[in-house]
Chains A and B, each alone.
Chain A
């Protein structure tokens, strides 16, 4: 009997709770109707982009400073044999490419620097570095580059590329470098 009473009461409790919930839901205002058509569209604000015409290679070149051009090293260096200043066969394609570049940028003037390794004496090396720069210049002239566009300088052994004291360093240091000094 007692069990029945508890069940009865709890059923009433549940029912009355449910009834109160229902009542609350009924009290909520109805959702507002959609009002999209009343708001303005968001506009994108921007200046019109100026599109430059594509630069020619010459124009790109002329925009750069000499430092920027030299940093890109458009003219590759060449190397020499021990105690020698004649142009090695492996230097020929490099000089040909350099000559093509110089023909393309026909206003450019360059400085060719001749360098030696430390295994020569000061005086002889300064003369040898000059010979290396000179034979490099002569080769470029033979490929059609005007000698008026080329200056040469010798640094002897005073500006090694590689400070090492071995065959590898010496081979690197016996070289001619190209510096663009005018465009």
Chain B
């Protein structure tokens, strides 16, 4: 008996020690493919007073929340038709059996109230089976933030189920709508497109920091393609690398380092540098083109493109530059790899007969699946923070625009239409 206790204790100690020694193992998330989505009943919100303005505001939040949940792949909505089968919602006295009868697992009760000087949106989320409120939030609603309020609610719901919030995150991209290539950002659904840089030079290849407070990008503003970090909420711009051609910057998952490609030593090589510009380290050493670095979610490895074998192929190396191995096969022009947030997959671009399509390499099974099939140039893929969606640019409609597609190739959506829009980045 004593032996057993000691055994159990030492087992626990090893488990604790191993999580302390290898904390990165805890970060790994799994995408629950095939797991049925959580059904949500989203009856119309209650309005107080029931004036047209209040109803319009409440219905905007309702609409945006509806599209968020539909996009999520985590939740499904109970159909409107089913809501008519049961007694209308009474927030004072909820008949949970009614909601259970139409197979709702969650019930979202929203109330929009406007008093003399302020509007408040209150949301309560109930677990129907246990008849318990599992989330309650109140938001002060200023004019112009109705969409954001809905996104906040959707993200709270994502967090309830251990998912990474995506609806309040932004996609940064390049657009020429105002005459030359400038940085812009937008919501996941293409709403709220906002310009970030204002100059007559090309700003190019942006990538977010993990918390979306900083953007690493290439700019020709000083007459040379230099690497900068833009802090859009602080109005700060910091040059990082200014010799040679500097591009394809990517923040490390801890936000402290940047991997990028530079020709500062005469050839396109991959470097890592601290975000303050110190501690520059060169990772690749050969006469081939090495470019397009993307970090693994643990920050221990970097996937990149190299034509050291003759044509551009996908390689993985340690974050210190060692242990280089080729992971792609079967294509003769591959580029733009992006490591999925769960660490299991790499999305990349392959060129076949002048078309570019997106492919997924599953690192566990070593299988490659084709994600797009549009007879166009689909490129620059970037994962959503939760790994369920991929944004990319494509000329499938004639001009180059930004699209989003789910990890299984479904739900293709066009997000931009003004000018030409490319190089979207959602996460690194």
What is A's interface to B at a CB cutoff of 8 Å?
Answer: 83, 118-124, 126-128, 130-131, 134, 153-155, 158
B422 at the interface (CB under 8 A from A): yes
Please name all residues of chain B whose beta carbon is closer than 8 Å to the beta carbon of A154 when the two chains form the complex: 225, 245
Select B423's contact among A118, A122, A127, A128, beta carbons within 8 Å.
A122
The answer on a CB contact under 8 Å between A153 and B245 is: yes
Interface of B is mostly: strand
List residues of chain B with CB within 8 A of the CB of A127: 245, 261, 263, 268, 289, 291
Would you give 23 A-B contacts (Cβ < 8 Å), ordered by A? A119-B354, A120-B333, A120-B335, A120-B351, A121-B333, A122-B423, A123-B247, A123-B248, A123-B291, A123-B305, A124-B292, A124-B305, A124-B333, A126-B245, A126-B247, A126-B248, A126-B261, A127-B261, A130-B244, A130-B268, A134-B266, A154-B225, A158-B202
Establish whether residues B225 and A122, one from each chain, have CB atoms under 8 Å apart when the complex forms. no
Given A119-B354, A121-B349, A154-B245 in contact, is the A126-B225 Cβ separation under 8 Å? yes
- Smallest CB separation, A109 vs chain B (Å): 13
Q: How far is the CB of A165 from chain B (nearest CB, A)?
A: 9
Most-contacted residue by chain B among A122, A131, A158 (CB, 10 A): A122
* Residue contact A123 to B245, C-beta cutoff 8 Å: no
Q: How far is the CA of A83 from the CA of B311 in the complex (A)?
A: 9
Inter-chain contacts of B205 with A (CB < 8 A): 122-123, 126
The answer to whether A119 touches B248 (Cβ under 8 A) is no
Q: Is B224 among interface residues, defined by CB-CB distance under 8 A?
A: yes
**Nearest CB to that of A118 among chain B residues?**
B377
193-246 of chain B: CB within 8 A of chain A: 202, 204-205, 224-225, 244-245
- In the assembled complex, the Cα of A172 lies from the Cα of B176 at a distance in Å of 23
How far is A126 from B356 in the complex, measured between Cα atoms in Å?
17
Query: Does B351 contact A119, Cβ atoms closer than 8 Å?
Result: yes
Q: Is the Cβ of A153 less than 8 Å from the Cβ of B224?
A: yes
Q: Which residues of B contact A119 (CB under 8 A)?
A: 351, 354, 377
B244 contact set on A, CB distance < 8 A: 130
Which residues of A have CB within 8 Å of B379? 121-122
Could you tell me the distance in whole angstroms from the C-beta of A122 to the nearest C-beta in chain B?
Answer: 6
In whole angstroms, what is the CA distance A124 to B351 when docked? 12
B335 and A123 form a contact (CB under 8 A): yes
Cβ B336 vs Cβ A123 within 8 A = yes
User: With A123-B291, A153-B224 as given contacts, are A158 and B305 in contact (CB-CB < 8 Å)?
Assistant: no
B residues in contact with A124, CB < 8 Å: 289, 291-292, 305, 307, 312, 333, 335
Contact of A122 with B377 at beta-carbon distance under 8 Å, contacts A127-B261, A127-B289 already known: no
Q: How far is the CA of A122 from the CA of B422 in the complex (A)?
A: 10
Option from A83, A122, A130 in Cβ contact (under 8 Å) with B263: A130
- The distance from the CB of A126 to the nearest CB of chain B, in whole angstroms, is 5
Q: A83, A121, A130: which contacts B356 (Cβ < 8 A)? A: A121
Top 7 nearest A-B pairs (CB, nearest first) are: A121-B335, A127-B268, A123-B292, A127-B289, A124-B335, A123-B291, A123-B248
- CB-defined contacts of B377 to chain A, threshold 8 Å: 118-119
Q: B421 near A: Cβ within 8 Å? A: no
The distance in angstroms between the C-alpha atoms of A122 and B393, with both chains bound, is 11
- What does the 1/0 interface line of B389-428 toward A look like (CB < 8 Å)? 0000000000000000000000000000000001100000
Report chain A residues within 8 Å CB of B248.
123, 126
Please measure, in the bound complex, the distance between the C-alpha atom of A128 and the C-alpha atom of B268, giving whole angstroms: 9
Q: Does B301 contact A (CB under 8 A)?
A: no
- How many whole Å from B399's CB to the nearest CB in chain A? 11
